[in-house]
């Protein structure tokens, strides 16, 4: 593995029984404790929040979406304005995805060639082209601290031949991404595909692990296959990923899935769940989700969660948050987002502490017994 342009150092600081570990990602823009959850800043903003609020919640690494930013305002424009950090006023670290996931999953009109992918913008229908070289160039223009290689992300129910061909293409594209990165440096992660086929996943992992990526990700999961089938893949593949490099499970997610994946040795996560749920009025508590619009909260003079230190719970009642939600007041989206991201930050802190204290399994069981109790035990949080 070449050390050329190495701008990311991963340090493992604690191990529990099994593959779970605590680490520190030393990025160009500061240290990030792992396992880490990255809030999604789709279009140059973690939706509804000021970057100082994201930082105050305890986050030091956010995800930016190459797909959205390449279409609007455009990578060259962001670069001319000093890069994404300066553009969005965020001095923490940024990981950008490659744009591939959105191109493959969201676009009806696209054509995949060996050279790259043609697609049309969902904003104005304009024609665009994303190749491995262009994906790296865009992420470099944005100024990402961690870049992702362009992969082909097939539907989980594609046939075996498609998955196999897709892994081969992803490997060829990975090589091209590394070449494109080579001349400029910068941290770059490869993405393991292979659907739900364990031998294919392992073989693809072996190919990518032999390349000088700074970290490896599992892609093509959390795309509708269901938590059990995802868990089978993660439990098998994650422990085989090179232990000295960070391991990233893309698009996850649910607390139960994070616990499962951390136990299998995953270090990094991203998901729109806390922010999107917030805007839909679905709020996380230790005893499960509540729907703030429900009439049971109409007169509730208590916070979302007693004892929660988030800016919403420190000042406002469920009754007020329900009122803001029903009135479609933007402040409601903000306060809900602050609460849910605070919940995830605290959850990841608890996860890291449990690993350090080597009681991850007990913590996971205790957490889930409250958060997702057996149906017979459930009552309104």
Residue 326 in tokens: 């029903």
Residue 11 · residue 26 · CB < 8 Å: yes
Q: Smaller CB distance to its own copies: residue 216 or 278? A: 278
Residue 356 in tokens: 């350090």
Torsion on CA atoms 123, 127, 133, 135, rounded to nearest 10: 10
Question: Contact with its own copies (CB under 8 A): which of 6, 9, 184, 299?
Answer: 299
Question: Which residue among the candidates 157, 267, 270, 377 is catalytic per the annotation?
Answer: 270
Q: Closest approach of Cβ 55 to its own copies, in Å?
A: 12
For the window 48-77, what string marks contact with its own copies as x by the rule CB under 8 A?
Answer: xxxx----------------x---xx---x
Q: Closest approach of Cβ 135 to its own copies, in Å?
A: 21
Region of 143 please: left (phi>0), alpha (psi -120 to 50) or beta.
left
Residue 99 in tokens: 């744009």
Near its own copies by CB under 8 A, which window of 17-25, 255-263, 327-335, 369-377? 327-335
Question: Which residue among the candidates 52, 91, 97, 267 is catalytic per the annotation?
Answer: 97
Q: Is 270 a catalytic residue?
A: yes
Q: Smaller CB distance to its own copies: residue 289 or 323? A: 323
Q: In what order do the strands lie in the sheet with 9-15?
A: 9-15, 21-27, 30-34
Residue 378 binds to its own copies (criterion: CB under 8 A): no
Classify residue 149 by its DSSP letter.
Answer: -
- Of the CA atoms within 13 Å of residue 201, those in its CB half-sphere come to 22
For the window 279-298, what string marks contact with its own copies as x by the rule CB under 8 A?
Answer: -------------------x
Cα distance between residue 83 and residue 232, in whole Å: 39
Cα distance between residue 65 and residue 189, in whole Å: 15
Peptide bond into 374 cis (omega under 30): no
Residue 317 binds to its own copies (criterion: CB under 8 A): yes
Q: Is 206 a catalytic residue?
A: no
- What is the set of active-site residues? 97, 270
Applying CB under 8 A, the residues found at the interface with its own copies are 43-45, 47-51, 68, 72-73, 77, 80-82, 87-89, 298-299, 301, 311, 315-317, 319-320, 322-324, 326-327, 329-331, 333-335
């Amino acid at each position: 593995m070449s050390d050329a342009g190495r701008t990311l150092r991963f340090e493992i600081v604690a191990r529990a029984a099994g593959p779970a570990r605590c680490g520190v990602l030393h990025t160009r823009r500061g240290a990030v404790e792992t396992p880490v959850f990255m809030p999604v800043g789709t279009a140059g903003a973690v939706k509804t929040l000021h970057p100082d609020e994201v930082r105050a919640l305890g986050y030091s690494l956010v995800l930016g979406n190459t797909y959205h930013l390449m279409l609007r305002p455009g990578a060259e424009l962001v670069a001319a304005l000093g890069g994404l950090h300066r553009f969005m006023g965020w001095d923490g670290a940024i990981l950008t995805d490659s744009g591939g996931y959105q191109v493959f999953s969201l676009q009806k009109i696209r054509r995949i060639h060996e050279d790259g992918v043609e697609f049309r913008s969902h904003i104005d229908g304009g024609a665009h082209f994303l190749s491995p070289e262009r994906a790296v160039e865009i992420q470099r223009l944005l100024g990402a601290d961690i870049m992702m290689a362009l992969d082909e992300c097939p539907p989980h129910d594609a046939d075996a031949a498609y998955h196999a061909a897709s892994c081969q293409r992803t490997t060829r594209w990975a090589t091209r991404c590394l070449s494109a990165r080579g001349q400029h440096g910068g941290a770059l992660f490869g993405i393991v595909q292979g659907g739900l086929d364990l031998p294919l996943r392992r073989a693809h992992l072996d190919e990518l692990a032999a390349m000088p990526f700074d970290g490896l990700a599992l892609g093509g999961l959390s795309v509708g296959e269901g938590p059990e089938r995802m868990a089978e893949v993660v439990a098998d593949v994650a422990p085989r990923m090179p232990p000295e490099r960070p391991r990233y499970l893309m698009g996850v997610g649910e607390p139960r899935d994070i616990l499962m994946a951390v136990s299998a040795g995953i270090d990094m996560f991203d998901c729109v769940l806390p922010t999107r749920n917030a805007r839909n009025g679905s709020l996380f508590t230790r005893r499960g989700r509540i729907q703030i619009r429900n009439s049971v909260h109409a007169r509730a003079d208590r916070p979302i969660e007693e004892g929660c230190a988030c800016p919403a719970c420190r000042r406002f009642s469920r009754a007020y948050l329900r009122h803001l939600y029903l009135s479609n007041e933007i402040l409601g989206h903000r306060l809900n987002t602050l609460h849910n991201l605070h919940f995830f930050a605290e959850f990841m802190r608890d996860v890291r502490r449990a690993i350090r204290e080597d009681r991850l399994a007990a913590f996971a069981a205790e957490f889930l017994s409250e958060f997702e109790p057996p149906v017979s035990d459930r009552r309104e949080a």
